[in-house]
Structure 1
Amino acid sequence: MSVRHLDSLFAPRSVAVVGVSASPGNLGAIVLRNLRAGGFAGPVWAVNRRATEVDGVPVLAGVDALPEAPELAVLCTPAATVPGLVEALGRKGTRAAIVLGAGMQAPVEPGGPTLEQAMLDAARPHLLRVLGPNCIGALVPGIGLNASFAPGQAQAGQLAFVTQSGALATAMLDWANAQGIGFSHFVSLGDSADVDFGDVLDYLASDSGTRAILLYVESVKHARKFMSAARAAARNKPLIVVKAGRAPEGARAAASHTRALAGSDAVFDAAVRRAGMVRVDTLGALFDAAQTLAHVRRWRGERLAIITNGGGAGVLAADALALGGGQLASLGEETLAKLDAVLPANWSHGNPVDIVGDAPVERYTQALSVLLQADEVDGVLFMHAPTAIVPAARIAEACVPLLRDAPRPVLSSWLGGSSVEEARAAFSAAGLASYTTPERAVDGWLQLVQYHRHQAALLQLPDAQARLPAVDARAAREVVRQALARGREWLDETEARQVLEAYGVPMVQTRRARDVEEAVAAASDIGYPVALKILSPQVLHKSDVGGVALHLGSGEEVRVAAVRMRQRVARLSPQASVTGFTVQAMAQRPRAHELIVGVAEDAVFGPVLLFGAGGTAVEVRKDRAVALPPLNEALVRDLVARTQVGPLLAGYRGEPGVDQGALVQAVLRVSQMACDLAELAELDINPLLADAQGVLALDARIRLRRPVAGEGSRLALRPYPSELEQPLVLGDRRLTLRPIRPEDGTRLQAFYAEATPADMRLRFFLARREVPRSELARYCQIDYEREMTFVALDGDRIAGEARAICDPDNEVAEFAVQVASDWQKRGLGRALLEKLLAYLRSRGTRAVKGECLQENGGMLALARSLGFTTRPTPEGTVSLQLPLRAG
């Protein structure tokens, strides 16, 4: 994560273009012309070792000939020259470069590093940031910067567009100019050798001129960095993403159901959801999203009213809304009565509101006024098909004043071509989104719905009583260690059972048998009926080779089934060695649902959790949802709800629902397993029976991997750091000092509510009675990769907190401390702050800073005693700073 020197990339005071010549089609000359045409106000220099003149601009003979260090350099030279140029620019003081050319994957010399690596090695000592290579450049229209070879300029606006595809960038730019949509930043990442999505998202998240961000993604290199940046940015502004490569190249056989089902696109979708972004499927939808976000209004809710002068268009829109999971507003009696008063008797008397094709201008404005005032309407879709009754332009002229300042979102669809072009332009000029078809207009509304749903999920406060599962990770790790020591990749059924039992997942009673007679004895001990399963390292899907026999009611049946099982396995899988059998009690739960819970490893986002309908037909049914661990109770319930089987688990038509608490706990324990066991590559629990009695795992498969030395965590999201928990004794009281959890929302709310007005003013610099729920969620659902909050718990009550937020470069952390009134002057503030500072030092943070009011004598005394420097500010506060490491 780094935004270091990105201001030099996106807000430079001077630019040098290297590789400019008068040759026809010269790339450097095109960039130079774009810079000059864009109106960039700072110095622009042209460089070429063959000094000449291009378009009246003198060309300097080399980097050393530049009168000063350009803040940004655009390199338009052959790949082999790039590392040397980067080195020369870095020595001169340049802090950002855009490398437009390709071919950087070629080696510097046979067997040596690539040109790209040589470029990065040359840039690193000077902290010079590189955009590209193989990109078209960057445009920042607000400052006239067009450091690209795009065929034209971009209009200024508040949307940022970041893409890995140069071709898509030029198409987007051309389309946006035709639609009158402007951009704050227009960035082509290319190969992302240095500056990538995470860096740009961090930069744009804090850019006041950017209101929404559009992404075109082909691949993600650094999952945790991407997720941290995306989550932070999505809290501030909408992020809309379209990703290439949705469909796999082809179905591939997989050893576990989970691995087969949790495809990479589904995992990316889960990442988008978890980060609070909005995903669209097509380039057209991305263009529409740009238009929607360029003209968005204050959000009220999901209920949409549709008004149209054509019934067919209204039906198409209503169908698209229903199929997309949207909500059509149900018009109340008062609203219907008001519409009756202004519409002819043959209007539709419902939603969609068909005002009939002969509608004069007044009918449009009167009906719109009613809908905009209706409490049961959260947004309006206005549609018009051209007629000979009234020109579309007159209708637009009358409606614009009414809709321009509407208190809720209004989208429009002017159907047709040239006859509605003027009307469409009038709406666009008034900041009203307009679409060519009803379906595209509805898609725009659904994008808003998806965005606000994801934002609501980010602000959820889980149940305060929820607890992380109590597990015996040490016992599970020992089972894994022994299996890897024997050189085995797959745990056998007994070992898999031991791992699940260590994590508290309920398992059906199971015994292992080496031969037929031991199987008969085990069945007698367990009690009939039983299930018999083959044990073989080479047989993973036992039912495929006849390796499962159910409902065996006697020793003789067990004996016969075992002999036949060996015969079938020998015939169908002759390479398999049978090492024995497992005997299980038959679960007598006829009304139980068969579910699957599993863990698979994604190449980009690491471990992912899968939940869905299980059983032998799991691949055929394809009813599943995936999520990134770690999960909490709210996220588990959302995961379950996203499957088709999810609603059935609540009960239906007299059938009792399943024990939701037991189900949630089982999934939480699997999530914890994914976080704890770095050796876990794949896990299937299939089937997991679920009914009113609870849950019971009947079968499990676990595949292991050997972690690579120094690889770090594979998780895209850093889990709760339980290793930072510690007891704290102050006087005669024993407290718990630990990182904050999402489940602490209610406790934190009570902590702030109990604080005196004076304490709240010292903490927040203003008088406030309560902290909004959205702010509480933000304070509790922290990204442990970038933030830390330690809370001191006195029983179940928060007695104090100390929090810090690090910048993306981990250079400086901003901190704050608050202690409950009855715990002040007892050493708790010092204990909290010392814990926080020790943590920041351990993660390599360079310095910590904060601010307090001048009258906050307690905080000032504490800070000074810990070595902080204090300095009054013109705003009447005191700045607190403490270096944590040299440099």
Structure 2
Amino acid sequence: MSTYRFETLLAPRRIAVVGAGDRPGSVGRAIIDGLRAGGFSGEVVPVHPRESSVDGLPCVSRLADLPAAPDLVMIATPPFAVPDIVEEAGRVGAASAVILSAHLGQGEAAPLGAARASARRHGLRLIGPESVGLSVPAQGLNASLLARPPTSGDLALVSQSGTVASAIAEWAGRRGVGFSAVMTLGRSADVDVADCLDHFAEDFRTRAIILSLHHVADARKFLSAARAAARAKPVVVLRTGRHDGLDRAPTTHTGALARPGAVYEAAFRRAGLLAVDGLDAMFSAVETLGRQRPFPGKRLMIVANGRGIGALAADGLADREGALSAPSDETLTKLEPVRHGAQANPLDLGIDAVPRDFARALEPLLADRGSDALLAIHVPTARAGSREVAQNVADAVAMGRAAGRRKPVFAVSIGEDEAVRSIYGRAKIPLFATDADAVEGFLHLVRYREAQDDLMRTPDSLPRDFSPDIDAARAVIERAIREGRTWLDPASVASLLAAYRIDSVPSTLVPDPDGAAAAAWPLIAAGHTVALKLVSPDVVHKSEVGGVRLGLTSEADVRAAAAAMIARVRAQRPDARIAGFAVQPTVRRAQARELIAGLAEDPVFGPVVVFGRGGTAVEVIDDRALALPPLDLALAGELIGRTRVARRLAAYRDVPAADTDAIALTLVKLAQLAADLPAVRELDINPLLADADGVVALDARVRIEAETGRERRRGNWHPRFAIRPYPAEWERRLVAGDRRVLVRPVRPEDEAMFRAFFGQVDAEDVRLRFFAPVRDFSHAFLARLTQLDYSRAIAFVATEEGMDEARRMLGAVRLHADANHDRGEFAILVRSDIKGTGLGIALMRMMIDWAQADGIAVIEGDVLAENRAMRGVCRQLGFAERPAPDEPGLVKVTLRVPERTQS
């Protein structure tokens, strides 16, 4: 349901509290006390079967006795009573309910299942169970059990855990940090984290979102909402249970490396969320976001009244890969009267500095273009008290802002002092107790800005000749499934990799030692040594039973090694079936690095791409990074860069750099394989050798499993993908005038083509499309047009076949669904010289077909009243037209999309 009825949940006019007795300390009574103390101006009605009034408020015995339906029902009753209360709330027309009660069980037969079913039947929104309520300070709404009522501000706090929310609210209350809303979700019978992200991403009162969660139930919904929210404003996430173990024992190295906590981190990174690893880091983020907006750059200038404390901050910055700034010579000259020593950054004011020295240092530094932010650190001394220094810093910052110098300033004041906190709070300067906390707070905003840059980065185009043989790959998988196998044999693995153009070592399968010796002879005669590997469906890690021998130089050695393998397996794994042996040439690439690359299956987020340092000790070394597919070359390169082994891929001494482009392309190919072949559950290439000549897979394992009936497909969308891949099945060919046109979904690498396109569109047509002249088609502007979340938006681009890149784009249409995925807003622009060819109508019809297939019920858009051509197209397609409310000069066009017929 997403944001459906959120307005009644967060801005109710009438609240019923069920289970509110007159006993002080009871949950229901605490809710009423909180509402009254918070200044709620609406109506509050206690509901209790045995009370006539609660704290002076008239009480009714049941919801049906209310004269009008409540907007919000707070439920604080024993768990067995909850389903009937939810059913009654739905019948009387209540819009939403918060279940404070706990222990509602699991499954549809439990009280929780019955309550959820009733709520869905009546369209009632539920928070909880096990919620501690919600608060909207600006509305005077404190329907919560929080010990300290939140104050009004512009941070939204959404938490699955009531205790974490209480801790953050308590901390924020003592520091004057306020909230636009606090929502505790408990077990999320209905309203979940994704719903809240959708709401607060669009809420103009919310500047940043603080998120605490333990688990995600619907990965697709969560990631779609998170990516949309993170593009709009900072989202900080703290996950509890980061070191929870796997539900089952992994069968491959990649499966063992893809632990749940690492997968969640990969998902947060892909969505552009700023992840923190504990309450201290969360408090640092709240302090920063509560007082400072994100800013470009990462160069920090440190000012301190002592060389040691400044050096500690600089060390912490370097440890976290931050950057010190370099003041200009002109600025250093201005700092001479207060500067101690030769070092420019950190700037030492000396232990004998007086409060005014901080202001004298900040004045030129705020104007200096060599830094992006300032950190003022003060250790109290007999010559400079904390309050006086705080006031001087605040005054200097206020003067700078008045002069248009908006450079961010962070402060550290050693020692707790409410007056100091108040001074900095009024000045909107983040204050920290230690230099480490301040550096972390500064880097929170740096990482957020970098994440936004990553989200807007244009990937390189894939090689045009990369087109996997999907039919051949599917045939390999289907044959193995028909034969009842869960692991592909080496020949099938080689065929699968070949279908995706991943180079591997040729292999010959033989049934016994004599066959191994015979297969080895041609290799030995050609001057190669031989690698012999055991083939068994029951032995996944061959090295554990001595199932790999390298460098064999004669037939006799091969025959003896095979016989020894059989004896060893019979002794160690008597139940293991031996299918035979794989005979390969031993690969000698002296300067190659051993890597691991593959796919793992996560129960929440589905397929995961794994990359890291390879070898037999891969799990002990644990040098790996994870990413959710689909991938492009930019994302693959970023994945490589997050590992320690990435440093070894660069050139060193006489070793040339490895071909990182080939490694990145291999990761993209694996992600594509995962998209095309849902039956592939785990894939493990270890080692993947990489050097200056490219990459080659020395050994690989693939585990398969047939898709189940529960794994619902949507078109060609992988049933377990958390992120919707590029919808290639929507490519179409048509004729517009005398042109043969290809229409396909937009790709991120289309940015250059869009820039050329806008250069060929008349300025008047651009104005009609965007309702104002557009002169700067910046990277950020174009990235928003070409980098789409296909779960929520689609854009189709029309290109003329056979034309060069600069002339080929003819037009584009786009549709963006709302958070509830029942309405979509469209926009279209066709190149000025193409008008009248029928291309615009063809694009609109394709967009309508997408909406119908995707379950969007209504398409709407705003059109300038003067744009008669566009209005004519809309009328021809069946759109209704009406004046746009409060927007003279605009008309609103609306089309109810016909339901898709079942064939």
Q: TM-score, normalised by structure 2?
A: 0.95
Counterpart of 1:392 (choices 379, 386, 392) is 386
Aligned pairs for 1:206-285 (under 5 A) are: 206-249=202-245, 254-285=250-281
Give the superposition deviation at 1:350: 2.3
1:461-503 deviations in Å (ceiling 9; x for gaps): 1125655941112211221112122222111111111111111
Counterpart for residue 470 of structure 1 = 467
Whole-Å Cα distance in 2 between the matches of residues 536 and 574 of structure 1? 12
Counterpart for residue 485 of structure 1 = 482
Counterpart for residue 566 of structure 1 = 566
Give the superposition deviation at 1:589: 1.5
1:593-645 deviations in Å (ceiling 9; x for gaps): 11110111112111111111112221222111110110111000000111111
Whole-Å Cα distance in 2 between the matches of residues 679 and 298 of structure 1? 43
Whole-Å Cα distance in 2 between the matches of residues 201 and 463 of structure 1? 31
Whole-Å Cα distance in 2 between the matches of residues 559 and 501 of structure 1? 29
Question: Residues 859 and 684 from structure 1, CA distance in 2 versus in 1: closer, same or farther, beyond 3 angstroms?
Answer: same
Contact kept? 1:138, 1:146, Cα under 8 Å: yes
Give the superposition deviation at 1:281: 1.0
Counterpart of 2:323 (choices 327, 330, 343) is 327
Gaps of 5+ in 1: none
Counterpart for residue 576 of structure 2 = 576
What SS class does the counterpart of residue 287 from structure 1 fall into?
A: helix
Contact kept? 2:175, 2:421, Cα under 8 Å: no
Give the superposition deviation at 1:798: 2.0
Give the superposition deviation at 1:157: 0.3
Percent identity, please: 43
- Code of the aligned partner of 2:363: S
Give the superposition deviation at 1:209: 0.3
Counterpart for residue 775 of structure 1 = 781
Contact kept? 1:803, 1:816, Cα under 8 Å: yes
Aligned pairs for 1:650-665 (under 5 A) are: 650-665=650-665
Contact kept? 2:599, 2:683, Cα under 8 Å: yes
Aligned pairs for 1:688-727 (under 5 A) are: 688-712=688-712, 713-727=719-733
What SS class does the counterpart of residue 169 from structure 1 fall into?
A: helix
Aligned pairs for 1:336-347 (under 5 A) are: 336-340=332-336, 342-344=337-339, 346-347=340-341
Give the superposition deviation at 1:858: 1.7
Counterpart for residue 504 of structure 2 = 507
1:277-309 deviations in Å (ceiling 9; x for gaps): 101111121112111001114513001111000
Whole-Å Cα distance in 1 between the matches of residues 34 and 431 of structure 2? 31
Counterpart of 1:177 (choices 173, 177, 184) is 173
Whole-Å Cα distance in 2 between the matches of residues 860 and 520 of structure 1? 78
Aligned pairs for 1:630-645 (under 5 A) are: 630-645=630-645
Counterpart for residue 802 of structure 1 = 813
Question: Residues 787 and 372 from structure 1, CA distance in 2 versus in 1: closer, same or farther, beyond 3 angstroms?
Answer: same
1:807-852 deviations in Å (ceiling 9; x for gaps): 1211110000111122211111111110110110111111100011
Counterpart of 1:357 (choices 341, 351, 358) is 351
Is 2:445 the partner of 1:432? no
Contact kept? 1:48, 1:60, Cα under 8 Å: yes
1:210-253 deviations in Å (ceiling 9; x for gaps): 00111111111111111011110011111011111122459986
Give the superposition deviation at 1:804: 0.5
Deviates more, 1:511-520 or 1:160-169: 511-520
Whole-Å Cα distance in 1 between the matches of residues 229 and 116 of structure 2? 27
Counterpart for residue 875 of structure 1 = 888
Contact kept? 2:866, 2:889, Cα under 8 Å: no
Give the superposition deviation at 1:161: 0.7
Counterpart for residue 598 of structure 2 = 598
What SS class does the counterpart of residue 666 from structure 1 fall into?
A: helix
What SS class does the counterpart of residue 759 from structure 2 fall into?
A: helix
Gaps of 5+ in 2: 713-718
Contact kept? 1:686, 1:699, Cα under 8 Å: yes
Counterpart for residue 66 of structure 1 = 66
Give the superposition deviation at 1:255: 2.0
- Code of the aligned partner of 1:708: T
Give the superposition deviation at 1:80: 1.8
1:167-215 deviations in Å (ceiling 9; x for gaps): 2222222221111111001011011010010011101110000001111
- Code of the aligned partner of 2:217: K
Counterpart for residue 456 of structure 1 = 453
What SS class does the counterpart of residue 17 from structure 1 fall into?
A: strand
1:16-53 deviations in Å (ceiling 9; x for gaps): 11122212322212111211221112222222222411
Counterpart of 1:817 (choices 817, 825, 828) is 828
Counterpart of 2:797 (choices 791, 796, 801) is 791
Question: Residues 251 and 2 from structure 1, CA distance in 2 versus in 1: closer, same or farther, beyond 3 angstroms?
Answer: closer
Q: TM-score, normalised by structure 1?
A: 0.96
Question: Residues 468 and 75 from structure 1, CA distance in 2 versus in 1: closer, same or farther, beyond 3 angstroms?
Answer: farther
Counterpart for residue 374 of structure 1 = 368
What SS class does the counterpart of residue 583 from structure 1 fall into?
A: strand
Whole-Å Cα distance in 1 between the matches of residues 294 and 105 of structure 2? 47
Whole-Å Cα distance in 2 between the matches of residues 664 and 674 of structure 1? 16
Contact kept? 1:298, 1:408, Cα under 8 Å: no
Question: Residues 310 and 62 from structure 1, CA distance in 2 versus in 1: closer, same or farther, beyond 3 angstroms?
Answer: same
Counterpart for residue 114 of structure 2 = 118
Whole-Å Cα distance in 1 between the matches of residues 294 and 792 of structure 2? 30
Give the superposition deviation at 1:806: 0.5
Question: Residues 886 and 861 from structure 1, CA distance in 2 versus in 1: closer, same or farther, beyond 3 angstroms?
Answer: same
What SS class does the counterpart of residue 629 from structure 2 fall into?
A: coil
Counterpart for residue 716 of structure 2 = none
Whole-Å Cα distance in 1 between the matches of residues 775 and 657 of structure 2? 42
Whole-Å Cα distance in 1 between the matches of residues 131 and 34 of structure 2? 15
Counterpart for residue 413 of structure 1 = 412
Whole-Å Cα distance in 2 between the matches of residues 155 and 655 of structure 1? 60
Counterpart for residue 205 of structure 1 = 201
Contact kept? 1:465, 1:743, Cα under 8 Å: no
Contact kept? 2:24, 2:30, Cα under 8 Å: no
Number of matched pairs: 879
Give the superposition deviation at 1:682: 0.8
What SS class does the counterpart of residue 703 from structure 2 fall into?
A: strand
Is 2:833 the partner of 1:837? no
Contact kept? 1:629, 1:671, Cα under 8 Å: yes
Counterpart of 2:184 (choices 185, 188, 197) is 188
What SS class does the counterpart of residue 235 from structure 1 fall into?
A: helix
1:126-169 deviations in Å (ceiling 9; x for gaps): 21100001111100001011112223421000011111111222
Counterpart for residue 12 of structure 1 = 12
What SS class does the counterpart of residue 209 from structure 1 fall into?
A: coil
Counterpart for residue 46 of structure 2 = 46
Whole-Å Cα distance in 2 between the matches of residues 466 and 262 of structure 1? 29
Whole-Å Cα distance in 2 between the matches of residues 703 and 476 of structure 1? 14
Whole-Å Cα distance in 2 between the matches of residues 805 and 604 of structure 1? 26
Contact kept? 1:300, 1:408, Cα under 8 Å: no
- Code of the aligned partner of 2:329: E
Question: Residues 102 and 885 from structure 1, CA distance in 2 versus in 1: closer, same or farther, beyond 3 angstroms?
Answer: farther
Whole-Å Cα distance in 2 between the matches of residues 417 and 806 of structure 1? 49
Counterpart for residue 846 of structure 1 = 857
Whole-Å Cα distance in 1 between the matches of residues 535 and 455 of structure 2? 45
Whole-Å Cα distance in 1 between the matches of residues 358 and 463 of structure 2? 52
What SS class does the counterpart of residue 594 from structure 1 fall into?
A: strand
Question: Residues 179 and 466 from structure 1, CA distance in 2 versus in 1: closer, same or farther, beyond 3 angstroms?
Answer: farther
